[in-house]
Chains A and B, each alone.
Chain A
Amino acid sequence: MKRNVPLAIVFVLGVFFVVQFFIPSHPSQVAYNTMLEWDMALLVFATVIALDSLIRHHTQKIMRRQGQWGYSAVYLSAALLMALAGFIGGTTDTSFYMKLFQYAMSPMQTSMFAILAFYMASAAYRAFRARTAEATLLLISAFIVMLGLIPLGATIWGGMPRLSEWLMQVPNMASKRGITFGIGLGAVATSLKIILGIERNWLGGA
C-alpha cells in the first residue's frame, strides 16, 4: 500500500500529462488547470514540512549540545528576528525588516561572494601554466576572452571583442550544446523511469 499507491498516482498522472500536452481540448485544459491548483496546495504543505524539519533539526542540535550548536542558535535567532520584524513592522522600503535586509543580511552575503575574486586571482596565478599543448591552447583562449571583455582589448586590436565573442559563441557553444542535449535526454530517460516505476529512489525507505 505504502509503495503501490504513490507508484500508481505517479504512473497515471505522468502518462496523463504527457498526453494532455498534445491535446488542446477544453476538458484537457480544465484538468490541467485543476492540477495547477492542486500543485499550489501541495507546495504549501511541502513548505510547512520543510519549516518543521529545519526548526526540529536545529533545536535538537542545540538541546543535545552537538558540535557547532552555537551556529544553530545564531541561525534560529536570526530567522526568528527577521520573521518577527516582517510580521510586526511590515516589509515596505522604510521598515525595520528592510533595514535588517539591506544593512546586515545583504552586505554579509555579498562580502562572502566577493572574497571569491581574491581566490580566483590567486588560483589563476598558481594553476594556469603552459605545461602541455592543450593547457597552452586554454591559456591563449582565456587571454583572448579576458581581453575581449575589457576596453583595453579593443585598444590593442579592434577585432579582439569579435574574436572573443566568436570563441564564446562557436567552439564554446558547440560543447555547451552537446552537454545540454545530454542533460535533456538524461532528464527524459529519468522521468520515464520514474513514471514507469523502474526508478523508485524518490520513495525513500518505503
Chain B
Amino acid sequence: MMKFLSKLNRMDRRIVFLLVTVVILIPLLLNIQSRLYVDKATHDLFNRIDAIQPGGQPILISFDYDPQVAPELDPMAVAVLRHCFAKGIKVIGMGLQPQGDAIGEAIISRISKEYNKKSGTDYCYFGYRPGGYIVMLYIGENVKKALPQDYYGVSYDSLPMMKGIHNYDDIPLVLSLAGSTWPNTWIMFAGTRYKASIADGCTAVMAPEYYPFLQTGQLVGQMAGMKGAAEYEQLIVDAGYTKSKDIASKAMSAISYSHILIILLIVMGNIGYFVTRRMENK
C-alpha cells in the first residue's frame, strides 16, 4: 500500500497529459453546462452597457488581441456584441494589435448578420489602427482624424452613424479586449487625460493585474477569462437578449473539470511526497 502511495509522487507526465485531454474533451462532447456565480466586475460591465440608450451614442470595442488568446476573448466579443445589437446599441469597432484586425472583422460581420445590422448605420468597423497610445490621444481630440475611413474604405463623413461623434465625450464606454497590457494604456491615456469610461476583457492570467484599477473606478467593469465570457453569456440569457448560452459556457465546464483534476493531482502528488519522505526517514 505504502509503495503504491509513494508512486503517486512520480506519475509519468504522459498520464497527466492523457487525463487532461479526457477531462477537457468529455464536457465539450457531452455539452455539460452549469450555472456560474457572476463576478461583480462582469455585472458592472453588463449594467453599464445595458444603461446605454438604444440608438443613442455608440460604445467603442477595441480588439487588442492576437489569435493565441482568441479562444478566451472571442466569446467575450460575441457576447457583448449580441447584447448591443439585441438592444439596439451602436458599436464602433477597431483594434490596436495588427492581428486583431481580422479577428474583429470576422466577429463583427458574423454577429451583425445574425441581427440584420448594417455597417455604417448600426456599427462601424475601422480595423487595425497603428500607433497605440497616439490613436487613443487622437480619439480624445478628434475621432475623424484617428479613424479617417472604415475597414472597407468608406470615408468617415460617409458613415451616418459617426455623425456627431467627435471625441470620448460622445462615446459612453470603451471596452478593450486584450491579452496584454493594452487596458493599462487605455486607462493612462484615454481615462486619465480625457476621463473616458474604460472597461476590459482580458485573459484569466492577466485579470489580477487590473483589480487595483477596478477598485479605484478607473476600470468600470471587467470580464476575466473564459469565466468572464461565460458569466456575460449567462447575464444576456437571464436578461432575455439571447435564448441560449454559447461556447464560453461549454468551455467553462471543461475548465471546471480540469481544475478539479489539477486539485486531485496536487493532492495525490502531496500524498506521494509525504509517504515517500516517511519511508525514507524509516
Q: Residues on A close to B: CB < 8 A?
A: 21, 32-33, 36, 39-40, 43, 47, 91-93, 97-98, 101-102, 105-107, 109-110, 112-114, 117-118, 120-122, 124-126, 128-131, 139, 142-143, 146-152, 154, 161, 165, 168-169, 172-173, 176-177, 180
Q: Is the CB of B212 within 8 A of A176?
A: yes
**Cα(A180)–Cα(B103), bound, Å:** 31
Distance from B19 Cβ to chain A, minimum over Cβ atoms (Å): 8
Q: Please indicate the chain B residues that have their CB under 8 angstroms from the CB of A176 in the complex.
A: 208-209, 211-212
Q: Is the CB of B269 within 8 A of A126?
A: yes
**Cα(A68)–Cα(B259), bound, Å:** 39
**Cα(A40)–Cα(B136), bound, Å:** 12
Given A125-B16, A125-B266: A149 in contact with B259 (beta carbons within 8 A): yes
Q: How many residues of B are in contact with the other chain, CB < 8 A?
A: 59
Distance from B229 Cβ to chain A, minimum over Cβ atoms (Å): 13
From A98, A102, A117, B258 is in contact (CB under 8 Å) with A117
Q: Is the CB of A106 within 8 A of B212?
A: no
Q: Is the CB of A117 within 8 A of B69?
A: no
> CB of B105 within 8 A of chain A?
yes
Interface of A is mostly: helix
Q: Please indicate the chain B residues that have their CB under 8 angstroms from the CB of A117 in the complex.
A: 20, 24, 258
Q: Is the CB of A91 within 8 A of B102?
A: yes
Q: Is the CB of B24 within 8 A of A173?
A: no
Given A33-B141, A117-B20: A93 in contact with B37 (beta carbons within 8 A): no
**Cα(A39)–Cα(B189), bound, Å:** 15
Q: Is the CB of B102 within 8 A of A114?
A: no
**Cα(A129)–Cα(B277), bound, Å:** 12
Q: Please indicate the chain A residues that have their CB under 8 angstroms from the CB of B54 in the complex.
A: none
> CB of B131 within 8 A of chain A?
yes
Q: From B273, which residue of chain A is reached at the shortest CB distance?
A: A129
